[in-house]
Amino acid sequence: MIAADPQMTGTPADTQPALSLQGLSRRFGDTHALREVSLDIAEGEFFTIVGPSGSGKTTLLRILAGLDQPTTGALLLRGKDVTGQPPNKRPTAMVFQSLALFDHRSVGQNVEFALKMRGIDAATRKARALELLDLVRLGPDYYGKAVTQCSGGERQRVALARALASDPEILFFDEPLSALDYRLRKTLEVELRSLQRRTGRTFVYITHSLEEAMVMSDRIGIMKDGQLVQVGTPSDIYDRPRDRFVARFMGEVNILQIRDEHLPELDSPLPGFADGHLILRPEALHTDGQGIGIKVTVQERFQLGSRVQLHLDTPAGLMIAEQPASCALQPGDEAQFHFDPAQAHRVTE
């Protein structure tokens, strides 16, 4: 399906990254949108870039896709320098948040667009479009439908099929699911992941939703102020955030200061722990068991399916605990919670 890259001859595919980002920086006047971003993305990897608004995600993705150029640095695609090469000269495709479908054309015409541009005959185009629609789980009936007759989720699938039509080696995704409702988003997250596995293509995705990143990705890169501050598997990042920024970004966490082998806010000794912060997930706090005790007053109780979330007033400020639904604590109750510091993760920054 994909023509061999002459530069790749004799080189095992798995030793050559699909993309190699080498010190990419981008300035807009005085704004440093990207600062020295270096990273290798492997062939067939689902890599997601996550970060808050303004952290540089779109700038980075646009440079990777060839829609913008870095101020300094280089981008290698399978070992070949493509910095400065326009997007249509690259074996890549992009799926935008806005989808950018041609509304006045049919689903089939949208999917076939790249094939028509290449001068492929109508019968071959149609056969390929039907295959692609099948790949994104749209039946042959959709081929002749107007795009305007499709629902949000169906349009999303059409955009995917259209991006896949040019048989790209790498697909870039710019928050394609953010406009969809929660349930549809969840379904499409799983489908995108499965599509990526079935096609074996490299997917590079940006989102501000860490939940989305956790579901789909082989690896996640966390961006802050134009830099990649941590790169790792979802569990690396969830279990071992490198600093408080990443820990907070990963969801609800409790953060306790450690100074002189003490937790000053709890007035508890913590022998053997160097200065820094302790990251405690809500599920690390228990009403029974041993470890460091915290006297709390329950402020709020929220039912989360089979679990309850409790907001606790503590000497260290507001803390959040997650308990089984059988937990009887109600707002106003006083209680003693515990956690095992050996199970907690410590960060220095």
Binding site for ligand ATP (CB under 6 A): 28, 31, 33, 51, 53-59, 208
Smaller CB separation from ligand ATP, 56 or 282:
56
Smaller CB separation from ligand ATP, 54 or 91:
54
CA distance 346 to 344: 7
The DSSP letter of residue 16 is S
On whether the CB atoms of residues 267 and 315 are closer than 8 A, the answer is: yes
CA distance 276 to 263: 10
Backbone torsions φ then ψ of 102, nearest 5 degrees: -85, 105
Backbone torsions φ then ψ of 148, nearest 5 degrees: -65, -15
Nearest distance from residue 248's CB to ligand ATP, in Å? 17
Smaller CB separation from ligand ATP, 58 or 254:
58
Nearest distance from residue 232's CB to ligand ATP, in Å? 19
Secondary structure of residue 290 in the 3-state scheme: coil
Smaller CB separation from ligand ATP, 177 or 344:
177
Angle in degrees, 0-180, between the axes of helices 152-165 and 122-135, rounded to the nearest 10: 130
Nearest distance from residue 41's CB to ligand ATP, in Å? 18
C-alpha distances in angstroms, 142 versus 126, 130, 138, 187?
Answer: 12, 9, 6, 19
Nearest distance from residue 162's CB to ligand ATP, in Å? 23
Nearest distance from residue 98's CB to ligand ATP, in Å? 13
Tokens standing for residue 154 = 């169906």
Smaller CB separation from ligand ATP, 112 or 175:
175
Neighbours of 31 (CB within 10 A): 12
Nearest distance from residue 38's CB to ligand ATP, in Å? 17
Nearest distance from residue 208's CB to ligand ATP, in Å? 5
CA end-to-end span of the chain: 48
Q: In what order do the strands lie in the sheet containing 254-258?
A: 254-258, 276-280, 345-347
Smaller CB separation from ligand ATP, 54 or 152:
54
Smaller CB separation from ligand ATP, 44 or 54:
54
